Structure formats: C-alpha cells, structure tokens
Structure 1
Amino acid sequence: MRLPARCALLIAAAGCPAPQVSPPRVVPPPADAAVDTPVPPVVTPAAPGEAPRLVVLVVVDQLPSWAFAIKRPHLTGGFDRLLREGEWHTGVHPSAATLTAPGHALISSGEPTATSGILGNEWWHRDVGRVVGSVEAHDGSSSAVWMRVPALGDALVAGATGGKAVSVGLKGRAAILLLGKAGLPIWYDRKLAAFKSFSTPGWLADHGRQHPILPRLDDVWTPRDPAQLARISQTTDDQRGEVGSKGFGPTFPHAPRKTASPADTVFALPLGNELVFETALAAIAGEALGSDAAPDLLALSLSAYDYVGHGWGQESWEAWDMMLRLDQQLAGFLAALDRRVGVGRWSLVLTSDHGACPLPERGNGGRLAFETIKNAANRAAAAELGPGEWVVAAKYPSVYLSAAARAKPPKELAKATTKIIHALRSFPGLERVERTADFAGNCARRTGDALMICLGLDAERSGEIFYLPRAGWVLHEKASPPATAHGSQHAYDREVPVIVLASDRAAAHPPLATPSTTPMPMVQISKILAGWLGITPPSALPRAAP
C-alpha cells in the first residue's frame, strides 16, 4: 500500500490550498546533532516508487501548534529540512484526553480513550482499590496490559511481513504504548541511569557501557545565546509563573550535579533528547533496521520538551533554547538516516501527543490542585451521606467515588452525586462538571461537544463524575504546581503539528511557513504509518473481547 498524493492523506479532505512558503534558508552545520560516527554510505538511494525500508515516527512530547508556529521562523535545521521536503498539517486530537499516555496510545493505535482503554497517565482501579499507572500491571511490572486495542507493534506482527518494531523514549509509558503488546520498547531508567527494555538486548547493554550517561551530567545547561533568547522569546529568563523542573530552579544555569538526583535531571535536559536519538541510531545497527525489503518501524518519543514545558512554560528561555537545540539534533538524526538506511529509503511522521496551555500569568487563567477538587467533592458528599471517605480520587478528568459511597441506596447516591457536581461547578477554574454515565458509551451516536467528551471517557474505567477546566486554567498536584500543563478540551491542548515525509517524496520545495488549512484527525497517523509498512492499520484489526 503506497501513500496517496498529498491531499489524499486526509480523510474527507475536500482540497488542499497552496501552502505558504518562506524564503530559502541557510542551514548551518548541526552543532548538537545526534552522535553518529561518520561512515561512507553503505546503501544506494532508493529506486523511484520503491517502498520505504524504515518507517520512522517522532513524537515530541507537549508540542502545541500555537507554540510551534511561533518558533518555526527560527528553526533552520532539522525542522526546516522536514518542511522543505514534506507536508505540514495541524493535527487535531479527538478528545480532551490530552495527556502523555492517551496521546501516545492514540497515535499508535488510531483509537481514542473510549476504545483504547488508556484514560490517563494513571487512574484509580476499583478492583484493587488504588491508583495504577497506564503501563503498570497489578504486580507492578511494566506492560501494555490496559490497552484494549492493537497498536502498530501488534499490527506489524499480525501482518507477518518480517518487519521489526522498536521504540525509544525517556518515559516508559511513551515507549510501551507506541508499540502495544509487541515489539521492542526501550526507555530510560533513572535508577540505572541507562536505557532498558523488558529483556534488554545485548547491543543495548553494550551501548550503555560504551556511552555511559552519568559522566555527561557534569555538563551545566546554559543558554547558547542569551541575547538571542531575549529577542526571539520577547521575555526574560525569570518571567512570572516559571518554577523549574527536576530540581532545577526558575532561571539559568541548570547544573545536574547540584540537584538531589542528577540522573533524574535527564528528563529535563537537552541531553535527554540527545540520548533518545543516540539510542535510536544504536537500535538501527543493533536490530538491523531498514536493512532489507521488509519495512521496519522505529518510533521515538522526545519527552524532555514536556518536562521543560511543565517547569518553565512554552514561552520560556528554556523552551526556546531546547527547541533550537532539538532543531539541530534532528538535523543530525535525519542525516544519519540518509547514511545508514539510504536516501529515499525511509519515511517519517513527526507530531505530538498533546499541546499545552500558555502560562496562566499571560492571560486570565489560574491553577487548581486535584486535592482541592477531591476535598470539595468529599465535603459535598458528606453533606448528604454524613462523615466518611466518599471520594477516593479526583485526578483529571475523573472523580471516583469510594466503594462505601457506591454501596449506598441509589436515591442517596444520586443526591450525593448531584451535590458533588454543584460544588465543583462553583470553582472558577472548571468549565464543565457532569455525570460520566450521561456521556460515556455509544460515541457514534453523539455529535459536537458530546462526542468530544465521549471519546475521552471509558464507560467502565472512568470515574462517576468528570470535569473539564476553563480556558487558561492549569490543573496539578498540590505538592508540585507547574508553570503550565495540559489535559483539556481547548484548542491549545488538542492541536499539534503533523509533518509527513513520504519516502517517495518529490524534489524539495520552498520551506513551508504555515501548515495546510485542512486539519488532520490524529486517528489518521497510524493509518499513514501502516500504509508505509504495508500492513493493515491497527484500528482495522480484530480485537479481543473485553
């Protein structure tokens, strides 16, 4: 199955307007490009019409369209190459489940929370009476056990093409959910200060020994060009709302060795992205990816940008500096793909699992802690049911009632639920609070906001009540208020860039300055990738009964 012409990438696209282009750019040598030993090409360029040998998916964690559009004019490296050779669309996430785990599951499976079963990064499990992570089995091991649908790794196995599926990310949930229950997910372990998998292959262990991470934490993250950052960000290094991340303070410099856990700072450093690229290149060699006619899948999740966004905001010097460095790292990675796999022998999609809210200090927003929501809900329930623990969890987007509350007679429970809803609706930071039963299930019969809400709920696993934040408001853990966050129904969270590079792309065009005006549903990403891999899309495969 070959990728159709440009406009046919989109379901229901009526036509493609001519993209706006910017003047040609001079691409500087990649200063921080992904480490790759210079070697002469060992493969010849692809013949016209030849299928790709390697299909690459790059997910930049927390990359909203609004922030990417602002930074785009200053990206002259890898992003510029992608936008000279590929297409740029605005991807639209189908629901308010704009969080890391649901977003990665959606990209790889083509299924929203309503069918994927991935509600959030973690959620309350009624059967065990505790919060369980999205890739955490009841015994504490890591797996995609909660994913109800096939993902790209599963689809590649089902296709029996002989292709391999490998993912690399800092976050375990990102790497695992990009593949599903099959393939080789690789993620960073802060305790080991190394990358690992369920069963770490020999080449990965060798790579870790030959390229230890801990010595690189002696380097201090300082801005490359403070004057440039001040000019292009139009803000200061200490703007209101910045809090820092992973032990780093609100302003530069950021020294890993001065934090309580230097190995943990990898998540919030440009080094984190560099390590993902390096490990991905090691995987190409170690797994012989792209070396034969059976297309392989290589998925990358760049999580460091997410931690920077949470700690300092998309508008910060840190976010700008990391994006400029990522631009050069990406250039090095693309050049390495040309050398190792061959020009025209690889295809690529770059996108994001979710966006982010602008800093509340820049608008009329605010911050609201999950614990505040939970306590208010419990007080409201107690007004009807008497003293007790009636609410056990209230992390976005669900309020979970305790077993004791659910055991109450239906009329009492209904009254308590109504009081909880009215209490939460009084918060200025919440736009909508409703009964889950009124919106979950039968999504195909719903339209508009009701459909968007339905797609973000799981009829079995979601809490009894759901809530959505008002525009500009950030929801968070009380102990760690962030600069910004994500997880809402608003466009700043749901709209992300999608850059598509087919292996049989035509000659380079002037670099795109703006995306196509025709949006791309994010459920399409897995279909595009499956087409390049020559397999049935995951969403079209049979799935096990619940």
Structure 2
Amino acid sequence: MSVTKPLTLVVFLCVFVVATAQRRNKNLPQVQPVEIAQSPKLVVGIVVDQMRYDYLTRFWNHYGDEGFKRMIRDGFNCKNHHFNYAPTSTGPGHASVYTGTTPATHGIIGNNWYDKYQDKEVYCASDDRLFSVGSTSDAGKMSPHRLLTTTITDQLRLHTQKRGKVIAVALKDRGAVLPGGHMANAAYWFEGGDTGKWISSSYYMTDLPQWVKDFNTSGKIQEYKKAWTTLKDIALYTESGTDNNAYEGLFEEETAPTFPHSTPNLLSKTKDFEIIKYTPYGNSLTLDFALEALEHESLGVDSITDFLAISFSSTDYVGHKFGVNSKEIQDTYLRLDLDLARLFNRLDEKVGAGNYTVFLTADHGAINVPAYLRDEQIPSNYLDMEALKSKFIEFQKYKFGTTDVVKNISNYQVFLDHKVIHNLDIDLNDAQEEIARELLGYEQVNQVYTATQMWQNDYTQGIPYILQNGYNQKRSGDVLLVPSPGYTAYHETGSTHGSPMIYDTHVPLLLFGKGVKQGSTVNRTEIPDIAPTMAALMGIAFPNGTTGRPLREVLE
C-alpha cells in the first residue's frame, strides 16, 4: 500500500480536529478580565470646614456648572450624611473622616482637651518634641502622635510600600496633620501673624522643599491682602440676611460689618496675614498652594495611587465671625465653588478625567446665630459656663465639703479627681450620678449622662448614641452635659458648633470620579463610612480602627 495515503489521512484528520476546535472556541463565551479594585492615579480628599449641607441647596442657583454642580451631576450625593458623635469640632472631624471611626476609638476627643493623666490641657496636634520647619516660632511643632489609629492615607502608604505619595494641605495645622496620618510624605499649614507663609514640622522633614520656599517668596500670598468685595451684585444675595445687622462680628477698625471689607490690616502687604483666613481668599490661597504641590510633587503621574488631602478652613473662620446667615458666608461659598472648578479643571489636565477620584465633606456643621434665632421667637440662647461653674462650686462645697472633687470642666464634660473621691470614701458611680442630677437641674442644660452609663450601655440611636461614639474611656470625662437645642456657649455674634444637635451633625458627602456611581441617596450615612468606602474602592486594607461601613450604593 502507498505510504502517502495514510499520511494524507493523518494530516486531514489533524486539520479537521483543529478547525472543529476553533469553531467550538468561537461559540464559547469569552472570558472577561476581572477587576478586583479601582486604581485611580490620584485620590483627592476635600474637607470644607464648618460646611452645613444646606449650603448646597441654599446657594444652588448661584453656583457655576463645574464646581459643586459637577460633583453632583457626575457623581454621588449623600443627602442625609451625619456625624455620629460629639463634640463636633475640627480636630475630631478631620480625624474621623480619615480614620473611619469616632473619638471613642481614634482618641481625638476635641481640638483641645483636659488630659487627666498629665493634669493639663493638651492640643490635638501639638508635639513639643519637634521643631518648626520654615518658621522660627512654635507654630510648626505638630504631629499626629495623639491619633491612636491609622488613617486611609496611612493604609495607602502601607499598601503601596510607601510608593504612593500623601500630601496634606490646610490653613489650620490640625486640618493637615490629622488627614495626613502617621505616614504622610508632608503636611503643610499656613502661619499667619506678621509672617504669612506655609510651614511644616520636623516630623516630616528637616527643610522645606525648594518649591515651597519659592511659593512663600513669590508674592502670591501678599496678593490676597486686598479689599473683600462681593463676587456678584450684593442685591442678588437674597438667600442671606441683611448686610448690616447686630449678629455679625467686626474686623479691626470697622464700625459696621458690611461690604466692602477694606480695613488697613486687610490691605497691608507687610503684616497681619492672619486676616486672610477670615476671608474667602484664604481658600483660594490654599488651593494655589495645593496645585503647586500637585505639580512639584508629581502627584497622579503613574499607576500607583497618590493622595492629596485639602482642607478649606476659611469657611470656618468666616462662619465664626459673621454667622451662617450672612452675606459674607454666601460670598465665601460662591468663591469656593469657583476654586473647586479650578481644581477639577487642573486635575483633568494633569491627571486626566476619569483617572482620579474626589470626595468632599465637612468636619462639622454650625448653629445659626442664637441671638438672631431668639429675636425671631425661636427657642435659643447662650449657656453661661462661668455662671454654671460658680453655681456648681457651691454645690460641691455643700455636697462634698470641698471643691477638690472636680479637676476640670471643659468641652461640656466634668472631670473628677478619682483619688479625692476615694479618700472621701465616696463611691465613684454615686458621685457621678449626684453631679449629673445637679447639672440637670440647671437652666439651659437639656441632658446629662455619666461615664458609667457610657461604659455599661450600648446606645443605638438618639443623643446618647452620639455621645457614646464621642466618649473615649481613657480620655473623656466623668459627666457629659448637653445644652438645650438652640443653646451654645459662645458670644452673641457669629456661629459656632460642637453639639450633638442636627445643625452640627448634618454635612455634605459628595463623591465623583473613577469608581463612583452617578446618583444620590437619602438613606442615613455617617462620617466613619467615608474611609472604608474609599478603601473598598481602592482595594486596600481599612484603617485599623474602622467602625464605619463601605457605602455600596456609591461604588461601581
């Protein structure tokens, strides 16, 4: 038999099998690559100091299309977003946003608080072991050493073996130090006074980078020492109260709190740079500096995620001086909207649209000026803490025979001297309850809770839930008091914050960019949810004290 026939048959069979297999493979579903996490080139975290949620809706018709409206149009809006703890202030706010937990866990229980072990008041970011970088004053002696847990920025550094950069920028030191976490490449803040420059701490570096030095000497800071006029015709600011009223503070040498603000210290190019913080120009200056960091630190240029943390602090300074119903606060937010548009446009150019992710929230809300509410027949007034303390001293003398049982009263908390109480042979729980009952009888005190209650109960709603999340067993006091709604310990001009009331807890949460859905929710979300949501998006470990949850409705 011819040898060629079997060979031909074999070749034919091979070709037939291969062709059949190829046809079958074409009919099989194609395996798609699996994406386990988003990897934005850059994450930008924005905290707007003292931003109430209703600033979005109240000033909506004045905003442009590329700032707040872009975030809501292209991203996700959490309309019912809240702080789930008190006190609602700047240090705890920034810490909670970035750690995914509350003061009960991360330990930042106030901007300042009484340290019962050192028997003195401490500041949330101060660190006397360090030295200032870029300043001869103590303004740079700061670090996150009092923060007990990791931040989302720490987790990014750990996840990327420190290849991902973290830069934090704010006018306030605590607005940069706490978001930067323990492992930030750098944190920068603004020294006002007669200095007017951006500085840092030896915690991060021994000398300022050349680009920071160049910015400080460029004259850009001096350019913001100018008259504050309204962005638009003030007659259009119908969403705010009258320009001249008794509920607003004054700049030095002003006789009325009215536009334009053009006092000598605001116009001076050589001194009093602190005043910039009290104008919207402080936010613009912050953004100018953050954009320099974006450029010179080469953020978002490769596939390894970087993080830029920006805190806009001037909104808080303006709110404290003029109040939440002022023309000044409205103008500040209209100008902030322009700054946000400027930021997003630069990110589009430098990082690329779709390559970055942004979230925006606040560190607390604010109460409307109680004097104004009072005049409008709304129950509101001021808590006179000095009068309360004087009355309370008399109670101590009568009840305990001494005033030594109380070591400190601050942040609406009473700190007892446990040694004195023990020496008096008084049960600590009984002492707490006696003091709580006394304070509850004071006018303008609405609720009182003891440390024992915070320890023994598991509150899930209402004021006690909020207080418990803010109560740190090692750092907080023995008795916690809550002023009546609409009441606060403050002067009669400008707005403040700090309470567990909804006007201090309800703030925005806007997210947009890579990995974020378009939409909104009115379901309750909470500040500690932000960090785990961003961690889930990036596919990195949660901060180690996380008590929040990822917001599944936000993520693609």
- Is the TM value for this pair above 0.5? yes
What secondary structure sits across from 2:239 in the alignment?
helix
Report the counterpart of residue 321 of structure 2 in structure 1.
311
Q: Deviations over 1:247-273 (max 9, x none)?
A: 876333323533797211122111110
How many residue pairs match? The answer is 482
Report the counterpart of residue 13 of structure 2 in structure 1.
none
Report the counterpart of residue 118 of structure 2 in structure 1.
128
User: Does residue 394 of structure 1 match 2:400?
Assistant: no
Q: Deviations over 1:65-120 (max 9, x none)?
A: 23432222322241111122111113221112211111110100001010010101
Report the counterpart of residue 166 of structure 1 in structure 2.
167
What secondary structure sits across from 1:231 in the alignment?
coil
What secondary structure sits across from 1:428 in the alignment?
coil
CA distance in 2, matches of 1:386, 1:356: 40
Report the counterpart of residue 151 of structure 2 in structure 1.
151
Q: 1:315 to 1:157 in 2, by over 3 A?
A: same
Report the counterpart of residue 347 of structure 2 in structure 1.
337
2:229 partner letter: T
CA distance in 2, matches of 1:520, 1:358: 23
Which structure has more relative contact order (CA 8 Å, sep 6+)? It is 1
Q: 1:133 to 1:380 in 2, by over 3 A?
A: same
Report the counterpart of residue 279 of structure 2 in structure 1.
269
CA distance in 1, matches of 2:386, 2:236: 36
Structure with larger Rg? 2
How far apart are 1:455 and its partner, in Å?
0.6
**Identity percentage over the alignment?**
28
Q: 1:243 to 1:541 in 2, by over 3 A?
A: closer
CA distance in 2, matches of 1:359, 1:457: 27
CA distance in 2, matches of 1:229, 1:320: 11
- Higher deviation after alignment, 407-416 or 286-295: 407-416
Report the counterpart of residue 22 of structure 1 in structure 2.
none
Q: Deviations over 1:461-505 (max 9, x none)?
A: 1111111121111223xxx55522111121111111111103256
CA distance in 2, matches of 1:229, 1:393: 48
How far apart are 1:381 and its partner, in Å?
1.6
1:89 partner letter: C
How far apart are 1:214 and its partner, in Å?
3.4
How far apart are 1:541 and its partner, in Å?
8.0
1:524 partner letter: D
> Alignment RMSD, CA only?
2.8
Q: 1:222 to 1:390 in 2, by over 3 A?
A: farther
User: Does residue 493 of structure 1 match 2:504?
Assistant: yes
How far apart are 1:534 and its partner, in Å?
3.7
Q: 1:372 to 1:135 in 2, by over 3 A?
A: farther
Report the counterpart of residue 447 of structure 1 in structure 2.
460
Q: Any stretches of 5+ residues in structure 2 without a counterpart? A: 1-36, 130-137, 548-556
Report the counterpart of residue 29 of structure 1 in structure 2.
none
Give the alignment partner of residue 472 of structure 2, picking from 458, 474, 480.
458
Once the two structures are superposed, the pairs formed by residues 421-432 of structure 1 within 5 Å of their partners are: 421-432=436-447
User: Does residue 221 of structure 1 match 2:253?
Assistant: no
Q: Deviations over 1:133-165 (max 9, x none)?
A: 111136583111111110123212221352111
Once the two structures are superposed, the pairs formed by residues 32-431 of structure 1 within 5 Å of their partners are: 51-77=39-65, 78-90=67-79, 91-137=81-127, 139=129, 141-161=141-161, 162-183=163-184, 184-191=186-193, 192-198=195-201, 199=205, 200-217=208-225, 219-233=226-240, 235-244=241-250, 250-255=257-262, 257-258=264-265, 262-360=272-370, 361-362=372-373, 363-386=378-401, 388=403, 390-402=405-417, 405-406=420-421, 408-411=423-426, 417-431=432-446
Q: 1:379 to 1:67 in 2, by over 3 A?
A: farther
Q: Any stretches of 5+ residues in structure 1 without a counterpart? A: 1-48
Q: 1:384 to 1:86 in 2, by over 3 A?
A: same
Report the counterpart of residue 7 of structure 1 in structure 2.
none
How far apart are 1:538 and its partner, in Å?
0.9
How far apart are 1:170 and its partner, in Å?
0.8
Verify the 8 A CA contact 2:166 2:307 in the aligned structure 1. yes
How far apart are 1:458 and its partner, in Å?
0.7
Verify the 8 A CA contact 2:231 2:335 in the aligned structure 1. no
